[in-house]
Amino acid sequence: MVDRAHESEANSTAESAGSDANSVAESASVAESVERSDELFESAANLPQSDLSLADVEKRRFRPLAWIGFFALVLAAVVLPYWLGRDLAIGHTGEVLARITAFEPRGIALVSWAVTLVALVGLGMSVVQTRTWVWRFVFVAGLAAEQFISGLCLLRSNFWYVTYVVYGRYAQLANAGNLGIIAAGAGVAVFAVLFVSILVLIRKDSPLNVLTRSWAAFTLFFAVELVALLVVLFGGLLTTV
């Protein structure tokens, strides 16, 4: 009996010692967390306060010299390639014909449509992603290529008369290039009307509101552009104009 009493007392003493150790450990962890919170509070208090608004931050990020250079580059991409292509078409007609007669009208229309589409995609992506300059340079490159083809094919309001005077019986090739560019431009115009109509007519709680998302908008854009290309390639325009 005495031994059992001693054993129970020893067990109770060990349990009390363990509980005391646990309480000490808990109090130490609490004290450590309090010290950390105090340190974080002090470090946050020592941070410099800023009264800058979002507009002020955007103004600081704005680089006028870079934008001036970009607009100058766009202007050069509009003027110089068109002038070069027009000069080749009028002054070196024989050399131009020696190279473009190897292609069919549908191939030339496809190339001019694709080049214009690259310029339009670069322009759209540069508007969506304003912080990156990659798409701006894609737009400039596509614009320069499109303007060169426009000058080479003598694109204007009544281009079919001018191309017949310059290229003669091969005017259909130049007209195909112009029709490819016009198809891409008409496609983006139709897409703009459709997308604005979707934004106006579809409610926010409608299941069709998914059409206003970016991936759906790009899918619609490429679908409209593809339809415009198919109309030019297989709609009889290449043989009519």
How many whole angstroms separate alpha carbon 116 and alpha carbon 122?
A: 10
Report in angstroms the alpha-carbon separations of 25 from 22, 28, 34, 42, 179. Answer: 5, 5, 14, 26, 82
Using DSSP's 3-state secondary structure scheme, residue 157 falls into: coil
Within a domain: residue 138?
Answer: yes
Nearest to 141 by CA among 165, 166, 122, 160: 122
What is the value of pTM for the model shown? Answer: 0.73
Answer yes or no: is 50 within a domain: no
State the pLDDT at residue 108: 96
Show the domain range for 96.
Answer: 64-240
Helices 93-100, 159-167: inter-axial angle, 10-degree rounding: 100
35 domain-assigned: no
Distances (CA, A) of 70 to 4, 52, 83, 127: 94, 28, 20, 14
In a domain, 1, yes or no: no
Which residues lie closer than 8 Å to 144 by C-beta, 6 or more apart?
77, 80, 81
**Alpha carbons 38 and 47: distance in angstroms, whole number:** 14
Whether 123 is in a domain gets the answer: yes
Q: What is the pLDDT along the chain (241 residues), one digit of tens a residue?
A: 444 444 444 444 444 444 444 444 454 454 455 455 555 445 544 545 555 554 554 555 666 787 898 899 999 999 999 999 999 999 999 999 999 999 999 999 999 999 999 999 999 999 888 788 899 999 999 999 999 999 999 999 889 999 999 999 999 999 999 999 999 999 999 999 999 998 888 888 888 888 888 888 899 999 999 999 999 999 988 888 7
Residue 54 lies in a domain: no
CA-to-CA distance for 45 and 136, rounded, in angstroms? 42
Residue 167 within any structural domain of the chain: yes
Q: Which two tokens stand for residue 174?
A: 């130049």
What's the total number of domains in the chain?
Answer: 1
Tokens of residue 136, six digits: 């701006």
Does some domain include residue 46? no
Q: What is the model's pLDDT at position 6? A: 43
Are 85 and 212 spatial neighbours (Cβ–Cβ below 8 Å)?
A: no
